[in-house]
């Protein structure tokens, strides 16, 4: 489908001309076109085809391929090939390689074996990108550029010599003096004080595998900064050569990266690679509807939308998945390719490209199936692709329509990184529990959610009109700038809901000495008197809004200062202690819960804030179907997605059109895995 900002192809597929004999090309392109595609993504792993020897550049191979593309009237998203440096380079300049924490280099044979900070690699990369930009920037068939492939995929950790050296520079820039670094890293603990910059490294093997948490947090910030500057370097080069209107993107989304900042700095749009089939991985937990399975990919799509409201999908799953060394998940059932493509579009994708045209016959990915199998014959997946292309063509005006969320989950990079298991396992446990449950609670109650980022220089408070409720589950780290932003939001009428363990750390990750929630005490209208983790067999609960809710994992026993006590703990030695406080502040309120968020409690919070199921007047829909609405002008697109292997019934209370233009209303039946779209 068309991608508004990018003006790009209206449906693409990933293709690897370097892996197929020239005799395949014309027929492949013809069949793609016939299936309703008009573009392909190429070249992301093809460095050798452009620079077969150091400093020797040739474009003959891809020039020739582009002649076929021209003849087939197709378009191209061209990639920079920096995810797989060539063997001549890694052999001659091993410093370009990434290393494990012991410093052992990752050798040739897989991909993403490079590091972002080797000056030699940077030089090679800027040269190849420069060459490609110069040669293909004005090519009429090129409509967009993908930088690298999946930054931080395979690993988000880098321990080469260049990384340690660059980390040192990053810290010098950040702290200026060793005294300040020693303070920030709390090096008085266990005698870690540094007296010379040469003693400072990123994390290295330690006797018990643990590392200084403040150092680790800075190290992740550094990895993010390194990936972002690598991307920026390429983007700045491509901008000099590309045609106006051609877009620059990259695909993801992976950890240890401030993705929102990367989009702001370097990209015109962002692309997510969506493989919901991972939910059915053969070694995953037994399939169980409560877990939401492939519906959980809506959470990743929500995160993608949070960093780029009008994003695309660069790789949409189209076959069963696995590598030579692992059997991953079964083939999409009939209907699931369509369902998953519609899931992406429902969440804001304005462009969908499938991975890949034909299953590879060589290499690690011989089981990562594309649309065609090894024999290239027509099959049911190609037929489903044709149907997807026809359908997206009918709703192409949706490009640019806004996803309609009724509340937002508030996140910050600092807290996301602090909540990694090897930085802070306490934070990790509550954060991962609550984020999953908040998503499930929102999904199952048909309450569409956005993710909003604070921190890293974002100073504007979210608008309470747009998000009447913000849930900030467990912001351990709260900076002064977060405090003023949150206060401003509540003052203007928003409802801020916070969970346990809020505000007990500063930006270095040091625990603060004020009572929790530290800087947010005035906003919360109270403090934490005592706290404890909760074992699974303990049965602590609260009664609130006429229902009883479990309070598992972690409890903060709250103490009201000027807040009202809405509920108290029951079932432990802290029976009767406040568990939920409400504090009016300016025109808004703070709801403070001394625990984690279960899906049931999330539902109650959504009801309390009056944001639950905003489309209840339009539609009755069972819990196990997702609904999503995108709006453009007065037109609304209502998606109903049935993830179940059995049919589901829904009732439309208002007249609507289907994409074919028929009027529909009343009771409707969704087949197994069916995705319906209604236009209102
Ligand atoms: C993605 C990647 C593709 C392909 C696919 C299957 O992560 O971008 O190149 O490798 O996974 O492994």
| CATH number reported for the structural domain that contains residue 649 in this entry | 2.60.40.1180
In a domain, 207, yes or no: no
Domain assignment present for 136:
yes
Instruction: Tell me how far the alpha carbon of residue 173 lies from the centroid of ligand 1, in angstroms.
Output: 36
Length of the chain: 680
Q: What is the DSSP letter of 550?
A: E
Which atom of ligand 1 lies at the shortest distance from residue 44's CA?
9
Quick one: residue 455, left, alpha or beta (phi over 0 = left, psi -120 to 50 = alpha)? left
Residue whose CB lies within 8 A of the most ligand 1 atoms, among 19, 152, 365, for a mutation test: 365
Q: Are residues 395 and 443 in the same domain?
A: no
Count H helices and E strands in the chain, helices first.
17, 29
Choosing from 400, 425, 446, the residue where a domain stops is 400
Q: Which residues contact 506 (CB under 8 A, 6 or more apart)?
A: 477, 478, 479, 512, 518
Three-state DSSP string of 568-628: EEECCCCCCCEEEEEEEECCEEEEEECCCCCHHHHHHHHHHCCCCCCCCCCEECCCCEEEE
Instruction: Give the side-chain half-sphere CA count within 13 A for 136.
Output: 33
149 lines ligand 1 (CB under 6 A): yes
Pocket test for ligand 1, best of 81, 318, 368 (most atoms within 8 A of CB): 368
Q: How many A from CA of 84 to the centre of ligand 1?
A: 13
Q: Is residue 217 part of a domain?
A: no
Residues 252 and 315 placed together within one structural domain of the fold: yes
Assigned token pair, 13: 């597929």
User: Omega of the bond prior to 517 within 30 degrees of 0, cis?
Assistant: yes
Token duo for residue 629: 């609405």
Same structural domain, 107 and 43: yes
**The last residue of a domain, from among 400, 419, 441:** 400
**From CA 114, how far away is CA 464, in angstroms rounded?**
44
**Is 23 found in the same domain as 122?**
yes
CATH of residue 108: 3.20.20.80
The domain total for the chain is: 3
Distance (Å) from CA 363 to ligand 1 centroid: 13
Q: How many angstroms does the Cα of residue 202 sit away from the middle of ligand 1? A: 29
- How far is the CA of 629 from the CAs of 38, 292, 618, 635, in angstroms? 27, 19, 11, 10
User: Which residue has its alpha carbon closest to ligand 1 atom 1?
Assistant: 273
* 626 and 584 together in one domain: no
Residue pointed to by tokens 């369902």: 339
45 CB less than 6 Å from ligand 1? Answer: no
Q: Name the closest-CA residue to atom 6, ligand 1.
A: 368
Distance CA 655, CA 676 (A): 14
384 and 425 fall within a common domain: no
Q: Are residues 396 and 472 in the same domain?
A: no
Residues 375 and 428 in one domain: no
Instruction: Report how far ligand 1's centroid is from the alpha carbon of 209 (Å).
Output: 31
Q: How far is the C-alpha of 147 from the C-alpha of 232, rounded, in Å?
A: 9
Q: Atom of ligand 1 at shortest distance to CA of 153? A: 7
User: Mutate which of 150, 272, 358 to test ligand 1's pocket (most atoms within 8 Å of Cβ)?
Assistant: 150
Q: How far, in Å, from the CA of 368 to the mean position of ligand 1?
A: 8
Q: How many CA atoms lie within 13 A of 182 on its CB side?
A: 14
Would you say the CB of residue 148 lies under 6 angstroms from ligand 1? Answer: no
Q: Which residues pair with 580 in a beta bridge?
A: 567, 593
Q: Above pLDDT 90, what percent of the chain? A: 95
* Assigned domain for 584 exists: yes
pLDDT at 2: 39
User: Reduced to 3 DSSP states, what percent helix, strand and coil does the chain have, rounded to the nearest 5?
Assistant: 35, 25, 40
Ligand 1 centroid vs 372 CA: distance in angstroms?
A: 16
Judge if the beta carbon of residue 150 lies within 6 A of ligand 1.
yes
For 263-294, write each residue's pLDDT tens digit: 999 999 999 999 999 999 887 666 555 689 99
CA of 374 to the centre of ligand 1 (A): 18
Q: For residue 478, how far is its CA from the centre of ligand 1 (angstroms)?
A: 36
Pocket test for ligand 1, best of 255, 315, 354, 366 (most atoms within 8 A of CB): 315
* Separation between Cα atoms, residue 433 and residue 451, nearest integer Å: 16
User: How far away, in angstroms, is 326 Cα from ligand 1 center?
Assistant: 14
- Tokens of residue 212, six digits: 């200084």
Domain match, 498 and 598 both:
yes
**For residues 187 and 214, is the Cβ–Cβ distance under 8 A?**
no
Q: What is the Cα gyration radius of the chain?
A: 26
**How many Cβ atoms are within 10 Å of 303's Cβ, its own excluded?**
20
Q: Do residues 307 and 259 make contact, with C-beta atoms less than 8 angstroms apart?
A: yes
Do 414 and 392 have their domain in common?
A: no
CA of 324 to the centre of ligand 1 (A): 13
The protein residue whose alpha carbon is closest to atom 10 in ligand 1 is 365
Q: Which residues of the chain have pLDDT under 50?
A: 1-9
Pocket flag, ligand 1, residue 315 (CB < 6 Å): yes
Count the Cβ atoms, other than its own, within 10 Å of residue 363: 12
| Ligand 1 atom nearest to 251, measured from its CA | 8
Quote the ligand 1 centre to 670 CA distance (angstroms): 32
Cα of 333 to ligand 1 centre, how many Å? 21
User: How far from each other are the two terminal CA atoms of the chain, in whole angstroms?
Assistant: 20
| 373 Cα: distance to centroid of ligand 1 (angstroms) | 17
The answer for residues whose C-beta is within 8 angstroms of residue 59's C-beta and 6 or more apart is 50, 135, 136
What pTM, to 2 d.p., does this model score?
Answer: 0.97
Enter the DSSP assignment of 505: B
Atom of ligand 1 nearest to the CA of 364: 12
**pLDDT given at position 450:** 98
User: How many whole angstroms from its chain centre is CA 146?
Assistant: 17
Which segments of 81-216 are extended strands (E)? 142-146
Instruction: Tell me how far apart the alpha carbons of residues 37 and 492 are, in angstroms, rounded to a whole number.
Output: 48
Instruction: Count other C-beta atoms under 10 Å from residue 245's C-beta.
Output: 12
Which of residues 373, 400, 427 is at a domain's end?
Answer: 400
For the CA of 323, the closest atom of ligand 1 is 12
Indicate if ligand 1 lies below 6 Å from the C-beta of 366.
Answer: no
Atom of ligand 1 at shortest range from CA of 365: 12
- Which ligand 1 atom sits nearest the alpha carbon of residue 321? 6
129, 162, 163, 165: which is closest to 147 by C-alpha? Answer: 129
Q: Is the CB of 365 under 6 A from ligand 1?
A: yes
Q: What is the Å distance from ligand 1's center to 292 Cα?
A: 23
Residue 571 neighbours by CB distance under 10 Å? 14
- The CATH number linked to 417 is 3.40.50.880
In a domain, 668, yes or no: yes
* Domain coverage including residue 411: 407-609
Residue partners of 556: CB distance under 8 A and separation at least 6: 500, 501, 516, 528, 530, 531, 594, 595
For the CA of 314, the nearest atom of ligand 1: 8
Q: Based on the domain organization, do 306 and 380 belong to the same domain?
A: yes
Residue 540 burial class via C-beta count within 10 angstroms: exposed 0-12, middle 13-18, buried 19 and up: buried
Q: How many angstroms is it from 610 CA to the middle of ligand 1?
A: 41
CB 630 within 8 A of CB 348: yes
The Å distance, Cα 18 to ligand 1 centre, comes to: 16
Long-range contacts of 249-252, Cβ-Cβ distance < 8 Å, separation of 24 or more: 249/6, 249/77, 249/144, 249/145, 249/146, 249/147, 249/312, 249/314, 250/146, 250/147, 250/148, 250/149, 250/150, 250/151, 251/146, 251/149, 251/150, 251/314, 251/315, 252/150, 252/151, 252/152, 252/153, 252/304
Q: Which atom of ligand 1 is nearest to the CA of 368?
A: 6
Report strand pairing: 554-560 vs 547-550.
Answer: unpaired
Give residue 267's pLDDT. 97
| C-alpha triplet 463, 469, 470: angle, nearest 5° | 80
Residues 302 and 416 reside in one and the same domain = no
Q: Which atom of ligand 1 is nearest to the CA of 150?
A: 8
According to DSSP, the residues that pair with 556 across neighbouring strands are 531
Task: Please name every residue paired with 451 in a beta bridge, in sequence order, or none if there are none.
Answer: 409
Decide whether any atom of ligand 1 lies within 6 Å of the 153 Cβ: yes
Identify whether 659 is part of a domain. yes
**In-domain check, residue 498:** yes
Residue 183 belongs to some domain of the structure:
no
Torsion of CA 337, 340, 343, 348, to 10 degrees: -90
């Amino acid at each position: 489908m068309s991608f508004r900002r990018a003006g790009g192809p209206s449906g693409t597929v990933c293709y690897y001309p370097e892996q197929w004999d020239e005799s395949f090309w014309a027929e492949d392109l013809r069949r793609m076109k016939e299936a309703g595609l008009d573009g392909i993504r190429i070249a992301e792993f093809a460095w050798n085809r452009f620079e077969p020897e150091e400093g020797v550049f040739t474009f003959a191979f891809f020039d020739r391929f582009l002649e076929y593309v021209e003849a087939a009237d197709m378009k191209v998203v061209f990639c920079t090939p920096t995810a797989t440096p060539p063997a001549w380079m890694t052999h001659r300049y091993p410093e370009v390689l990434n290393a494990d924490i012991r410093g052992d280099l990752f050798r040739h044979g897989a991909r993403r074996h490079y590091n972002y900070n080797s000056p030699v690699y940077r030089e090679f990369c800027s040269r190849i990108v420069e060459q490609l930009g110069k040669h293909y920037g004005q090519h009429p068939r090129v409509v967009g550029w993908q930088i690298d492939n999946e930054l931080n995929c395979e690993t988000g950790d880098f321990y080469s010599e260049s990384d340690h050296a660059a980390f040192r520079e990053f810290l010098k820039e950040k702290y200026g003096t060793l005294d300040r670094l020693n303070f920030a890293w709390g090096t008085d603990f266990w005698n870690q004080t540094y007296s010379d910059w040469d003693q400072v490294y990123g994390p290295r093997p330690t006797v018990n595998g643990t590392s200084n948490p403040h150092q680790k947090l800075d190290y992740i910030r550094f990895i993010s900064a390194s990936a972002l500057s690598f991307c920026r370097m390429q983007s700045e080069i491509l901008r000099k050569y590309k045609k106006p209107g051609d877009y620059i993107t990259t695909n993801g989304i992976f950890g240890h990266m401030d993705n929102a900042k990367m989009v702001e700095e370097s990209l015109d749009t962002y692309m997510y690679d969506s493989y919901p089939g991972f939910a059915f991985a053969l070694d995953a937990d037994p399939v169980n509807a409560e877990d939401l399975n492939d519906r959980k990919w809506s959470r990743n799509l929500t995160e993608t939308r949070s960093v780029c409201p009008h994003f695309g999908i660069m790789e949409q799953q189209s076959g069963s998945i696995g590598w030579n060394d692992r059997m991953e998940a079964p083939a999409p059932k009939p209907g699931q390719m369509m369902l998953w493509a519609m899931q992406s579009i429902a969440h804001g994708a304005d462009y969908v490209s499938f991975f890949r045209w034909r299953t590879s016959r060589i290499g690690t990915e011989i089981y990562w199936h594309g649309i065609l199998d090894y024999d290239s014959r027509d099959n049911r997946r190609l037929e489903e692709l044709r149907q997807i292309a026809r359908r997206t063509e009918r709703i192409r005006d949706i490009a640019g329509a806004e996803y309609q969320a009724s509340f937002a989950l508030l996140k910050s990079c600092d807290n996301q990184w602090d909540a990694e298991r090897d930085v802070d396992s306490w934070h990790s446990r509550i954060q991962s529990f609550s984020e999953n449950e908040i998503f499930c609670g929102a999904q199952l109650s048909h309450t569409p959610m956005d993710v909003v980022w604070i921190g890293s220089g974002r100073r504007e408070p979210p608008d309470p009109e747009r998000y009447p409720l913000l849930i900030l589950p467990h912001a351990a780290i709260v900076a002064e700038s977060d405090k003023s932003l949150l206060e401003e939001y509540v003052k203007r009428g928003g409802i801020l809901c916070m969970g346990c363990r809020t505000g007990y750390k500063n930006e270095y990750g040091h625990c603060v000495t004020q009572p929790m929630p530290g800087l947010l005490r005035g906003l919360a209208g109270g403090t934490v008197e005592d706290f404890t983790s909760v074992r699974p067999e303990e049965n602590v609960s609260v009664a609130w809004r006429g229902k009883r809710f479990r309070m598992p994992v972690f409890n903060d026993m709250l103490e009201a200062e000027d807040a009202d006590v809405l509920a108290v703990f029951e079932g432990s030695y802290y029976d009767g202690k406040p568990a939920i406080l409400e504090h009016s502040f300016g025109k808004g309120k703070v709801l403070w819960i001394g625990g984690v968020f279960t899906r049931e409690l999330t539902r109650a919070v959504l009801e309390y804030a009056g944001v639950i199921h905003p489309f209840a007047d339009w539609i009755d829909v069972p819990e196990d179907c997702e609904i999503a609405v995108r709006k453009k002008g007065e037109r609304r697109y209502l998606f109903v997605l049935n993830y179940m292997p059995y049919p589901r019934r829904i009732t439309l209370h208002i007249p609507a059109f289907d994409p074919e233009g028929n009027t529909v209303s009343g009771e409707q039946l969704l087949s197994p895995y069916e995705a319906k779209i209604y236009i209102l």
